[in-house]
Every structure is written in structure tokens, then in C-alpha cells.
Structure 1
Amino acid sequence: MIRVLNDIRNAENPISNNKKIINTIVLLFLGIALGTFSKYLDFSQAELPSVLMAINGALDIGNFLGRFAIWTLIALCISIYSNSAKRASINVFIFFVGMVGSYYLYSNYIAGFFPRSYAMIWFGFTAISPLLAFVCWYAKGKSKLAFILSVLILAVLFNMCFVYGCWYFSALSVLELIVFIIGLIVLRRDTLRSFALMGTISIVLAFLFNIIIPFPFG
């Protein structure tokens, strides 16, 4: 317990109130920009510039942004690089308020429809995001608790990025594969052994999760 508390104190990095406010505002506008862009890409595919249309056609960015993996990774990065668990909660919540709010405002007032069932899922995800971010922040440390949290996070991310069964295994897309690799990098350990152990246990745990909860996270 003493080691965990020391780990927490060492991980916290106090910053000025002005910088906290600026960071939160930046994350709000980043969420608004990404939410608007995601819905624009989904709604206006026929009107996209030729370059963006080609990229979207090759990588299927529209559907990629409509799944959970990329947003989970962004939230994880915001959490890990926030200066405290409390700030992680605030920052992630503000980001999702901006992203989800702009997405569904665009959908309702510009696209002309409001998918209520999907909206409720994202509103619920936004509501619990501060708690998830608070927990994820502790994965940045070097304690056993941090290791366990990193394993759990990677297991969930794995099931968001890959589909598999008895005789098949595939990434949802090359972008999801990149998301998982970045997740590994963000949660990397100090030694190659612990890094390999974290990755191996998280994949085994992901398979167990898939047996217990047999529906796609993506």
C-alpha cells in the first residue's frame, strides 16, 4: 500500500490553474472538432473533396470513427497524460461532452435525423467517462496496481480492435490495428519482460472476456 501511495504521489504533476483551464478548453474544442468532422464524414460522403474521398474510401474512416476503439484510445491518452486522476476525469468528460454533443447536434439540425438508441449509448458512455478516466490514470504508474489496470485496459481495447473465433482472427481494419499498437505504446512498461507479460496476459484476458461477454465491443 505504501508503495502504491508513493507511486501516486510521484505520478502527479501539479500545474497552474490557468494551464488547467486552457488544457480543458483545448480538449473541449478538440472534441467539438472531431465530433463535427466524424458526422460530416458520415453524412456528406458524396460531397467530400476528392483527396478526402479517396482516403475515406481506402481506410473507411467514417465507419472507423463510428466505432469505440479510437475514442477509447483518445480518452486513454487524455487520462494517462493528465496531471492527476481528478484532472483526468474532468478532461475526458469535457472532451466527450464536446465530441458527443457536436456529433448529435449536427445529426439533428443539419443531417435532419436523431438516432435515439445510438445517442443513448454515447450519452451513457459520456456519463461514466469521468469514473473510467479516474481509474485509467492510475495505469501510468509502476506499481502492481498500475500493471493490473494496464492489462485490463488492453484486454478491452483488444476486443474493440479485433474479431476472432475458433478458426478466424482479424483486425476490424488497419486503423484499429494501429489503435491497439498505440495503446501498447502508451501503456508500455519499463522492461521488455514486463511489457511482454502485460501484452500476453491482456490478450489471454481478452479471450476470456469474449467468452463471458460474447458480443463485439466495436
Structure 2
Amino acid sequence: MGDFLDGIRRPGRRLPLPRAMLYSALIFAAGIGMGILSKVLDLTPSNELPAFLEALDLRNFFSRIGVWIFLSVSISVYSRSPLRAALHVFGFLAGMVGSYYLYTVLVAGFYPKSYMMIWIGMTMLSPILAVVCWYAKGRGFIAVLISSIVFMVMFRQAFSIGFWYWDITYPLELLLLLATVIILYQSPKQIMLVIALGVLLALLIWRIDWLWGLL
């Protein structure tokens, strides 16, 4: 099994332990900072924000899942090994979710248990998904398939598709989709295949959802 996975993508050179621990700590700290920033923006009325932040509508941007998927995938694919990807993504999301809901409970004074449990559940699952995403920067069909699924998820975040329409859901998530193409890029042929397969999967899932809605 190890040889098979190494054939897709081989882990990089192991870092010295102090540097590896420093990187993990910095990613965890970044998660804490992003969680606090997201909650502060969420609690601040938009008309009290600087004009450029109000125009970007970052309050709603950070409340959507797309940006957190993108950041987690980015952390995963640029880690040196699948194990480091699992550790880094879990640390980032644990820091983000922990700081966000601690701020919510201790500062904002309310306890959204149902939403919190959903995010805790996704954080607990994140190491497994991070390992899978790490292989997106590998070689062969499996790597292309994983990249296509990542692209499909971000595509569905950026676009709202109906029987007679195809709209941009949120402008900043369109930028995230373009950034996803950049982080997944390995060659012109590879990325064209990723985009084509990703769009096909997105349309297929939309079609399945549409047919399910008719039942």
C-alpha cells in the first residue's frame, strides 16, 4: 500500500523537529487569529467597518464554508507529507473553531450548540480529508480525480446552477475558485483535465439533485 501511495506522491524530506514544531504552531496560531477575526467581523455592523471591508462583505464571506475549504486544501497540498497535512489542517481548524466559539460564548454571550457541534464534527474529520487532498498534487489518474473533486466543491460554492440559470453565488468565491486552479496546477494538460472533469461532476451532481427534487 505504501508503494502504491508513493507512486501517486512521495513525501518530501523530513524537517528538523524544532522547525516542524514551529510550523505547526504557526498554523495553529493562524487558525486562532482567523477564528477571532471572523467572529469580530460577524459581530460588527457592516456600516461600522472601513469602506473597503464593507464593500468586500467579508462578514458574509467568512461565514461561508468555501474560504475554510480553500485554506484547508492549500495547507494540505503544500505540506511535506500526508501525516503533516493531517496535523496542519486539524491544527488550523481546531484553532479557528476553538477561538471562534470561545469568543462567541465568552464575549458575545451566547451558545450556538448545534452549529458548534457541526464544526467540531468537521474538524474531527479534517485529518482524513487532508490526507486525501495531499495526494491531489501527485501523479496519475487518482491525483487528477482528487483534484477534480476539490475543484468541483469550489465550483459549486462559486456558482448557483438551475435549470434555466447559471449565476455567480458570491464574487469572492469566484476568486477562490481561480486560486484553487492555481494551487492545483501542475501542467496545462493536467489542469485542463481537472477543470473539465470537475465541471462535469458538478453538473452531474446538480442533475441528480434536480431529479431527486422531482421525486
> TM exceeds 0.5?
yes
**Mind listing any 5+ residue stretches in structure 2 that lack a counterpart?**
none
Counterpart in the other structure of 1:128: 125
1:13 matched to 2:13: yes
1:58 matched to 2:55: yes
1:3 is displaced (CA, Å) by: 7.1
Deviations 1:92-150 (A, max 9, x none): 00101100000001111111112222112111110100000011001111222111110
Structure 2 counterparts to residues 81-92 of structure 1, below 5 A: 81-92=78-89
Work out the number of aligned pairs and report it: 210
1:205 matched to 2:206: no
Deviations 1:69-103 (A, max 9, x none): 10000000100010000000000001011000000
Partner Cα distance (1:90, 1:168) in 2: 41
With normalisation by structure 2, the TM-score equals 0.90
Counterpart in the other structure of 1:25: 25
1:158, 1:206 within 8 Å by CA — same for their partners in 2? Answer: yes
Structure 2 counterparts to residues 158-173 of structure 1, below 5 A: 158-173=155-170
1:54 is displaced (CA, Å) by: 1.4
Partner Cα distance (2:150, 2:8) in 1: 19
Partner Cα distance (1:128, 1:180) in 2: 23
C-alpha RMSD over aligned residues = 2.0
1:59, 1:174 within 8 Å by CA — same for their partners in 2? Answer: no
Deviations 1:165-187 (A, max 9, x none): 11222222221000000001111
With normalisation by structure 1, the TM-score equals 0.89
2:158, 2:174 within 8 Å by CA — same for their partners in 1? Answer: yes
Percent identity reads 37
State the one-letter code of the partner of 1:197: L
**Mind listing any 5+ residue stretches in structure 1 that lack a counterpart?**
none
